[in-house]
Structure 1
């Protein structure tokens, strides 16, 4: 399956001096505009600032209530805009935010810890009195120093090392649940979710577990000082607390130097300093001590509170997790996507550059809003639904992306999973106290409720009936959840013979609940034994209770279609993933040409239905062996009439692609799905077409599978990370990258979807995917790491 091409030059392309024609780029601004005769405010590039952009205020109003919803207008209309109230460019779409994270040379993280609100002289004097000197940390350091230090300090974050903390996290969680189990009412934030992550953070860092209330005050002050908007009067008090925090961090560090062999990340850093004094400096250790106390616990505490609020507001989902703890890892990940604790990060442009159609001058400050990116429907199907079965939820950007991705992400996952497992097991009847008001610390970047009140009937605690519950627990592997764990079970309502050799399955939720919405071109992953097969959705998009797929029996297949035809019956349960869409219908064109061959009609029929509803100009050209072997013929005749053109080859009717495409109207979008020979022919005809005109979906991965007996090993240089990874003959590039902790999103892992695309810097690629066009392969600028390999020598990737 392929998706519309995303221009890799959309973000981060440095502009040569002569290429920057000035404010209006040929007299036109990409977004916004002013009515004739008005005198609007202008951005730094001279473009008029839209009303929405002028009104945007991240410190109050809608952004503080729900940052993703507050930027919906931006994702839809103005994905990059200048905020005069903030003095930053704001970026809201997934691909843009991810690309900025990826390129930390053009988009430097050096301002990530800069105070976002100008500091009064009195506050500056207060900080100076404490010799405050917060400098570079892993969060705000440029290359090459960042990767040198990251590599030097990474070992305590490996899954093997993190496993040593799991028993302590579970013990602490049980102790805190014991304290509240018989109370019947608790503020989860005050009585559990703040203190446990702080204790774990201090244990991980090697800091003595004392002065918990003082450290909470310090942490809040640091957040307000860096990402908040305190008044000039408040700034002095905040600076006083931050100064004391700085002094505290320094004193603890000095104590550690007296006993550097004890456990913890900071003593580990002190030991590393002896071997790498120019990399792990005194200033760096002091800054990391202070930043680490905040980063290692505050985000986990906020994320956990957000998670419990979300799940308790969605009672059916909470109940599912109580009944099936294996859903917990994906539920945690979906909560991190839907309402993560990290809302935004900041970057500064080191050169004149471009994000989409917007010119970004050198020195511009950027607020990149990951919370908005995580709700971008261009990447996440039904992004505003909480779906614990979502199988690409780990693509979320709450942990960042690229070389600055959060090092502590797997520790946070571990804590959140244990919190959820313990509370769903011991207090499954817990619910939110009604009519409570949720408040948040006003700032641009981090979010979690100040309080979260819950209640339950202690007499109904399961442990009173079965004390053995106290000894049970579910062990989860450390790291991101596996996609197979996100499969949902659906019941087969109907099996219908749609045509000779084709059956249509109607699927429903066993409990009669609504299913996720889907869009034309979307598919389901159906698990058949050890294999996963992809089938396009072809039913009524407006029916919220059923999915429909059509399956052709393929005698040359690996047995999946035969199993469905021979053994699937009504009332049976099947495991599915999705829906997800890599063949999305772009709805803004003036006319459409829909081309289908054989079972390739399945996504096309849904697109035709949608285009008819939209009142678009479209035509369907459908080829097959014979009418009795072609699915949905009667439905298409009924619903699409003269727009339908059938080509049954047994009647001597052939689909003439040359004539069809030659006569296409200007501005036509072409969507095609069918056998490889049809798509290959169409792709050759499209070589001279404008980019983005042709969209094809492959349903065969032939030629993409790894054959170790015929492969060669090779090295991959990760230019941004400073690593070189060997890829042996029995491993894909994607597998080799994951083995060293480099996160690359993927989906089909068969070269069909394009999710695992990476930028190629150097080397000759053996392209085996079904995504790139011939011209894109000739450019040799990108590759799909799930299947493509080096022809020889070494590849250099922008990772």
Structure 2
């Protein structure tokens, strides 16, 4: 997958002054942005995604002469790197990014410092056997046992400052509580916790920071002491291997598989585990609180509705997570984003930049706790090296936010300058000062506030959090077609959307949810518009919309999301709509006109009076619009329209099934995937147990193997195993239940994937698709 692009430099270097430009490892001139890149400077520390925005948009893969690393900034490229841990080895993930001087090295040697490979930086084939051996304590069922302890700690620490009116949340809570949780999780004896606290930050500075030469020796002494003390604590644990804790679990596993779980491995994991479980969670929570308090309306929303906290955590991790970047070593010549990368190169993969990539997260800079795909973030990595402790961190963050929203909803940020410890990879404010009026503390008026408790989601949010919307207006825009305009109740801006996007609307208390394409202007941030056809044989959705929906009503909505994306690099667009299928096509046509892309529209309907948006389309697009009205005797001839395959052209179509089948037949001689469609209905998603077979599915990341019965869907089997997968339609139409496939022969039954996507077999829709045979084992990256 990493060599699919041509091995060339994709950047136009004519802008650089050739006489003075530095040359990178491939001989290409180094751009001004690449030459200036400095991840230890304050600009990177304050906002990594903003600092590398220029790269994400102009030069997504570049060589940094200051760092000596190739820097990768886009989502798809970084996810591909994580997926291929053979070509892109994690072996340098814990390597000191700033080489240590001879004196500091001598100090480390004097302590016998010999940090071995850990789960973070170990290559295959050693990595996965160890990961599987040590995975069980991280499963949702096991993590539940830690929830009461985390809640008790959160309450205890808030008790200490609740009546002070101000606090530094980092110093007074967020630094210590995650460390204490980490110690408990690892099984560290209580009398050793304080000493290990003192050493943990030195390890971070030693590995990812840039200590000055005069500071290196002091850091080396601290790291050496950390190493020796961790060994002594491990010896205590060996004396009591039946005690609770992940390290004791590892010691017991060592008895079963001594060749997999070795002494040196346990020592290294003891030290690395403290840092990994502590700092990332402490920083992530501090970043989240800073972000939420910088958005008072969002803060107020989760205070009023704590059920939003789980998805808010995901959006905070995406928008402003604690892991800014990871590192990889290129083991063989490769191509990333079109850029040839020589074997032996080092990569800084800026995951925080990937989390702001507009190609994956629409309106990526917009902080939206209702975002459907917030949990797609790469803050925890991806693939076989994804952070094992991710769900422990999520649980802690949810509990901390719950405690703050319940007891200090009137909290606000104090005036302050935010500072960060300079390093490439992990970030969080050193201090976070907040203040509040103690007279308004809710528990003073109602002690019952302290008893409230929100259920914690142990695992990533499903993204199915709905947002409340107000019906601003309704209007009949054609016979049987109702235009509905929706606004946020508090008037706040809504996320931007892209042509082809749809929203999911819940039809009152009917339990029915329906998908409707957005048809207004993506630039209009105060409202969303949809057009709803009153179906003759309605299953309840369109009937409710036409007869029950009234201006001023509140409705629940999810989205927007887009599984019908417009290729804005196409040389020509053929846009085809039938009936109400004009809604996504209209927004695509408007976008094509705005960008100056060559396009044509072919719009069919049975009666002119029933054709929505027709007048506005005629006014905007003139003779680019071709109208076919059945009762007037004019019908579209798709065979004639598509007789000649046009190089660089793309066909987008939305409408009745018969129209889409005709287009598919007429375009068979076109290049693969030239036709992209959005369906109204599906006949492929039904499950008839008499005609089905069971099959086995392995969840590679979770270390779990499931048996999917012949009378259940893969989606149901995953949810029964506490793997939270979103789903809206259960018919293979909406694409929300997509899961990543690593291996398996799939019987694709959806209406979402293209022919080439099915052939690649890297994803499937869990609500309807299955293994092709009972003997076919499916392996998922879950």
Quick check: TM above 0.5? yes
Maintained 8 Å contact 2:459/2:724:
no
Cα distance between partner residues in 1 of 2:328 and 2:458: 30
Maintained 8 Å contact 1:169/1:415:
yes
Structure 2 residue 313 is the aligned partner of structure 1 residue 332: yes
Structure 2 residue 530 is the aligned partner of structure 1 residue 549: yes
| Other-structure match for 2:283 | 302
Structure 2 residue 188 is the aligned partner of structure 1 residue 207: yes
| Other-structure match for 1:604 | 585
CA distance change for structure 1 residues 348 and 193 in 2, over 3 Å: closer, same or farther? same
Cα distance between partner residues in 1 of 2:759 and 2:410: 60
Cα distance between partner residues in 1 of 2:404 and 2:29: 52
Higher mean Cα deviation, 543-552 or 193-202?
A: 543-552
Cα distance between partner residues in 2 of 1:344 and 1:595: 43
| Other-structure match for 1:260 | 241
Cα distance between partner residues in 1 of 2:657 and 2:362: 27
| Other-structure match for 1:490 | 469
Cα distance between partner residues in 2 of 1:398 and 1:316: 25
Higher mean Cα deviation, 124-133 or 231-240?
A: 231-240
Q: Secondary structure at the match of 1:296?
A: helix
User: Deviations for 1:386-410, whole angstroms, at most 9, x for unmatched residues?
Assistant: 1111121111111111221111111
CA distance change for structure 1 residues 326 and 634 in 2, over 3 Å: closer, same or farther? same
Shift of 1:417: 0.9
Cα distance between partner residues in 2 of 1:794 and 1:388: 39
User: Deviations for 1:80-130, whole angstroms, at most 9, x for unmatched residues?
Assistant: 222222222221111221222122222221111111111211111111100
Maintained 8 Å contact 1:403/1:721:
no
Shift of 1:423: 1.1
CA distance change for structure 1 residues 339 and 706 in 2, over 3 Å: closer, same or farther? farther
Instruction: Please point out which of 762, 776, 782 is paired with 1:794.
Output: 776
Cα distance between partner residues in 2 of 1:44 and 1:731: 54
Higher mean Cα deviation, 705-714 or 251-260?
A: 705-714
Shift of 1:58: 1.3
CA distance change for structure 1 residues 80 and 759 in 2, over 3 Å: closer, same or farther? farther
Maintained 8 Å contact 2:183/2:193:
no
Shift of 1:378: 1.1
Shift of 1:246: 0.3
Cα distance between partner residues in 2 of 1:204 and 1:721: 19
Structure 2 residue 484 is the aligned partner of structure 1 residue 505: yes
Maintained 8 Å contact 1:147/1:722:
no
Cα distance between partner residues in 2 of 1:743 and 1:254: 39
Structure 2 residue 418 is the aligned partner of structure 1 residue 476: no
Instruction: Please point out which of 351, 364, 381 is paired with 1:370.
Output: 351
TM-score (norm 1): 0.92
TM-score (norm 2): 0.94
Cα distance between partner residues in 1 of 2:321 and 2:761: 37
Structure 2 residue 604 is the aligned partner of structure 1 residue 627: no
| Greater RCO, 1 or 2 (C-alpha within 8 Å, sep 6+) | 1
Shift of 1:750: 4.2
Maintained 8 Å contact 1:91/1:368:
yes
Maintained 8 Å contact 1:492/1:572:
yes
Cα distance between partner residues in 1 of 2:647 and 2:520: 31
Cα distance between partner residues in 1 of 2:405 and 2:744: 50
Shift of 1:210: 4.5
CA distance change for structure 1 residues 572 and 37 in 2, over 3 Å: closer, same or farther? closer
CA distance change for structure 1 residues 120 and 279 in 2, over 3 Å: closer, same or farther? same
Maintained 8 Å contact 1:12/1:99:
no
Cα distance between partner residues in 2 of 1:36 and 1:429: 55
User: Deviations for 1:49-87, whole angstroms, at most 9, x for unmatched residues?
Assistant: 222222211111422221111121222122222222222
CA distance change for structure 1 residues 103 and 57 in 2, over 3 Å: closer, same or farther? same
CA distance change for structure 1 residues 784 and 351 in 2, over 3 Å: closer, same or farther? farther
Maintained 8 Å contact 1:717/1:794:
no
Cα distance between partner residues in 1 of 2:106 and 2:543: 76
Structure 2 residue 572 is the aligned partner of structure 1 residue 591: yes
CA distance change for structure 1 residues 649 and 408 in 2, over 3 Å: closer, same or farther? same
CA distance change for structure 1 residues 61 and 382 in 2, over 3 Å: closer, same or farther? same
CA distance change for structure 1 residues 182 and 743 in 2, over 3 Å: closer, same or farther? closer
Instruction: Please point out which of 504, 520, 527 is paired with 1:525.
Output: 504
Cα distance between partner residues in 2 of 1:604 and 1:483: 26
Q: Secondary structure at the match of 1:443?
A: coil
Q: Output aligned runs, 1:374-389, within 5 Å.
A: 374-389=355-370
CA distance change for structure 1 residues 492 and 745 in 2, over 3 Å: closer, same or farther? closer
Instruction: Please point out which of 661, 670, 676 is paired with 2:642.
Output: 661
Structure 2 residue 447 is the aligned partner of structure 1 residue 447: no
User: Deviations for 1:516-543, whole angstroms, at most 9, x for unmatched residues?
Assistant: 2222211111123333321111113332
Maintained 8 Å contact 2:697/2:780:
no
Maintained 8 Å contact 2:284/2:317:
yes
Count of aligned pairs: 776
Q: Output aligned runs, 1:360-759, within 5 Å.
A: 360-434=341-415, 436-484=416-464, 486-528=465-507, 529-662=510-643, 666-690=647-671, 693-716=674-697, 724-736=705-717, 750-752=731-733, 756=738, 758-759=740-741
Shift of 1:360: 2.3
Maintained 8 Å contact 1:760/1:795:
no
Shift of 1:340: 0.5
CA distance change for structure 1 residues 795 and 124 in 2, over 3 Å: closer, same or farther? same
Maintained 8 Å contact 2:460/2:724:
no
Q: Secondary structure at the match of 1:794?
A: coil
| Structure 1: gaps of 5 or more residues | 1-8
Q: Output aligned runs, 1:103-118, within 5 Å.
A: 103-118=84-99
Maintained 8 Å contact 1:657/1:682:
yes
Shift of 1:633: 0.9
Cα distance between partner residues in 1 of 2:239 and 2:666: 73
| Other-structure match for 1:224 | 205
Structure 2 residue 24 is the aligned partner of structure 1 residue 64: no
| Structure 2: gaps of 5 or more residues | none
Cα distance between partner residues in 1 of 2:725 and 2:447: 44
Shift of 1:713: 0.8
Structure 2 residue 144 is the aligned partner of structure 1 residue 188: no
Cα distance between partner residues in 2 of 1:774 and 1:409: 34
| Other-structure match for 1:33 | 13
Cα distance between partner residues in 1 of 2:126 and 2:734: 36
Maintained 8 Å contact 1:127/1:242:
yes
Q: Output aligned runs, 1:40-79, within 5 Å.
A: 40-79=21-60
Cα distance between partner residues in 1 of 2:700 and 2:491: 51
User: Deviations for 1:268-321, whole angstroms, at most 9, x for unmatched residues?
Assistant: 111111111111110011000000111111101000000110011100111111
Q: Secondary structure at the match of 1:769?
A: coil
CA distance change for structure 1 residues 153 and 88 in 2, over 3 Å: closer, same or farther? same
Maintained 8 Å contact 1:59/1:444:
yes
Cα distance between partner residues in 2 of 1:541 and 1:393: 20
CA distance change for structure 1 residues 111 and 476 in 2, over 3 Å: closer, same or farther? same
CA distance change for structure 1 residues 782 and 456 in 2, over 3 Å: closer, same or farther? closer
Maintained 8 Å contact 1:732/1:785:
yes
| Other-structure match for 2:335 | 354
| Other-structure match for 1:87 | 68
Shift of 1:783: 4.3
Maintained 8 Å contact 1:195/1:212:
no
Cα distance between partner residues in 1 of 2:18 and 2:365: 40
Structure 2 residue 326 is the aligned partner of structure 1 residue 345: yes
CA distance change for structure 1 residues 40 and 730 in 2, over 3 Å: closer, same or farther? farther
Cα distance between partner residues in 2 of 1:362 and 1:719: 28
Shift of 1:777: 4.4
Maintained 8 Å contact 2:483/2:530:
yes
